[in-house]
Amino acid sequence: MEKQKPGIRRACEYLDKISLEQRGTALPPIRSLAKASGVSFVTMWKAVRYLQGKGILISEPDGNHFCSSDSTLTVLLPEKTDITESELSEKKMSVSSQHITDRLYKDIISGRFTGSEKLPSCKELQQLYEVSFTTLKKSINVLVEEQILEQRTNGYFIPSLTGGTGNARIVAIGCGWEDGKIWMDHQDKSYFKAIESECIRMNIRLDVIVHYSNNGRLQFVHSASSKDYDLDDRTILGYIFIVANINSNPEEVLEKLVRLRRNVAVLDVVGGWKVPKCAQGNHLIQFFTATASTLPAKRVAQYLLGKGHKQIGFFSPFHRALWSQQRFNTISEMYRKAGFTDGVTSFVQNNYAYQWEYLNKDEQHEELKSLIDQYSQWKKEAYGELFKKFGNMGYNIVKYMTEWNCASGEIFEKMQPLFEKALCNRSITAWVMANDFAATMAIDFLREKNVRIPNDLSIISFDNTLDAMEYQLTSYDFNNHGIVTLILRFILAPHTVKPGRGGSFHEVDGALVIRRSS
């Protein structure tokens, strides 16, 4: 405790004092503890996390650790018994060891330590996890017994996942059209890119397959050849099914994959999607999520609460999408738990889930189709000449017109009145944008209004795209690499991935990248 800051030391001393009176009961909310001890919300939050890491406080029976999920969850104090000091010390060490085991396990399976390589030394791991050698060694031994780690004469290694796979392949499946084109936006397509990169690194063949419906019959085609694909090929190790389109029917695809009796990893991108009956209780199927996880919204809410933002606005041009609704609901719930019942105001468009829906109006359908046909013809005839004349600039023109930016004008037209309305509410000190795309629009709007960022208003978002870097936007970076590594581990070494409790989704936490906008 000597190295702790005075505020955290005072908070810890207060917690130690009330532990004598409240053993076996739940602590009050973090905000109440902070007020009673005379420290800030963040200081008390750090103090509770510190004591939990030491095993002095233990988490709720449901297994949620507030340090990795919700800063306003209560934690339980060890029950009062007649055990000796040595027995109590041993119990605390056991709790701490389990906590470190879980942290080390999550870091291994999410790719923090590169597969097939030696772990850092025990001394380095002690510094990383801030534990004693005895506690660390107990955790490592558990993971060796579970075959997550492999002990050799020169240290501990993460076993290779690709030994003996030969010419085997993995199949990644997404919704699309009969020509093999995938029907999802640029951000969701990044999962396929991350999967491909990892498969190349592991020297495993990857087939990207598109599913679509033809006269009510489910079809699968190869994205490169546009030819029908045999999902029952013997060389296939497993399937990665990416659910990223709320207009598709994922249950039909899953029913097909279940019958093949191989490992299926389902990556939920849309959020709020329930596990269908055909997959319930099936150990060959596991569900994963990153962008649709509740963790990102919790991180954003914790950050804003820690910075003292009591009134914030949530903006989304795609609020028909379940992932947008989940982010708003999670942030609102976090604010309610922190004592700010009406702390989050929504400014959203409920009729749209994708950028293309802004252009798909009945009265404009024929005109839009005609425009696309004209553009396609122009592209065919002028593509080569454009490159010869303008080089990279010609490529950028084509890319801008074919990417989702083509709907920017329509989206901004719908969002501008919401921006105007929010700006009139002087009590709102931060805008939370559903994604970076919407955030860049908001920043451009605020600059026109001469609103200083972050002096007058803070902006925070999700995705951490290149736009976020260029606009110096604080944005949550989804750990795509981590979730893909976990998925591939389930396909190649399923015994190393513990099943989710009660059929729950596997989640991998990312990081909030702090920039000048907040």
Query: What pLDDT does 66 receive?
Result: 36
Listed in sequence order, the DSSP H helices in 161-249 are 186-202
Chain centre to alpha carbon of residue 206: 23
* CA separation for the pair 293, 479 (Å, rounded): 11
* CA separation for the pair 192, 125 (Å, rounded): 32
User: Tens digit of pLDDT for each residue in 142-197?
Assistant: 888 888 888 888 888 888 777 656 678 899 999 888 888 888 777 778 889 999 99
Check whether 319 has a pLDDT greater than 90: yes
* CA separation for the pair 191, 463 (Å, rounded): 12
Q: Any bridge partners for residue 76, and if so which?
A: 26, 58
Query: What pLDDT does 108 receive?
Result: 84
CATH 1.10.10.10 boundaries in the chain: 6-68, 94-157
* CA separation for the pair 296, 273 (Å, rounded): 17
Check whether 434 has a pLDDT greater than 90: yes
* Least confident among 54-58, 260-264, 343-347: 54-58
CATH 3.40.50.2300 boundaries in the chain: 295-355+407-477
- Which CATH superfamily does the domain covering 295-355+407-477 fall into? Response regulator (3.40.50.2300)
Residue 31 CB neighbour total at 10 angstroms: 19
Query: What pLDDT does 501 receive?
Result: 59
- Domain 169-289, second-level architecture: 3-Layer(aba) Sandwich (3.40)
User: Tens digit of pLDDT for each residue in 267-315?
Assistant: 988 876 677 788 888 889 999 988 778 889 999 999 999 899 999 999 9
Residue 283 CB neighbour total at 10 angstroms: 8
Query: What pLDDT does 79 receive?
Result: 41
Kindly state the average pLDDT of the residues 455-479: 94
Q: Which residues contact 188 (CB under 8 A, 6 or more apart)?
A: 242, 244, 269, 291
User: Tens digit of pLDDT for each residue in 391-406?
Assistant: 554 544 444 444 445 5
Residue 362 CB neighbour total at 10 angstroms: 6
Q: How confident is the model at residue 72 (pLDDT cuts 50, 70, 90)?
A: very low
DSSP 369: H
* CA separation for the pair 465, 468 (Å, rounded): 5
Maximum mean pLDDT: which of 62-71, 112-121, 246-255, 489-498: 489-498
Q: How confident is the model at residue 61 (pLDDT cuts 50, 70, 90)?
A: very low
* Residue of 1 and 505 predicted with greater confidence: 505
* CA separation for the pair 79, 429 (Å, rounded): 43
Q: What angle do CA 266, 497, 71 make, to 5 degrees?
A: 85
Contact of 487 with 461, CB cutoff 8 Å: no
* CA separation for the pair 141, 137 (Å, rounded): 6
Query: What pLDDT does 236 receive?
Result: 92
User: Tens digit of pLDDT for each residue in 10-51?
Assistant: 888 787 776 555 444 556 777 777 877 888 877 888 888 777
Query: What pLDDT does 96 receive?
Result: 63
- For domain 6-68, which CATH number applies: 1.10.1140.10, 3.40.50.410, 1.10.10.10, 3.40.50.720? 1.10.10.10
User: Tens digit of pLDDT for each residue in 106-130?
Assistant: 888 878 886 557 888 889 988 888 8
Contact of 92 with 98, CB cutoff 8 Å: no
- Domain 94-157, second-level architecture: Orthogonal Bundle (1.10)
Q: How confident is the model at residue 250 (pLDDT cuts 50, 70, 90)?
A: confident
Check whether 441 has a pLDDT greater than 80: yes
Instruction: Give the residue among 21, 18, 34, 96 at the shortest CA–CA distance from 71.
Output: 34
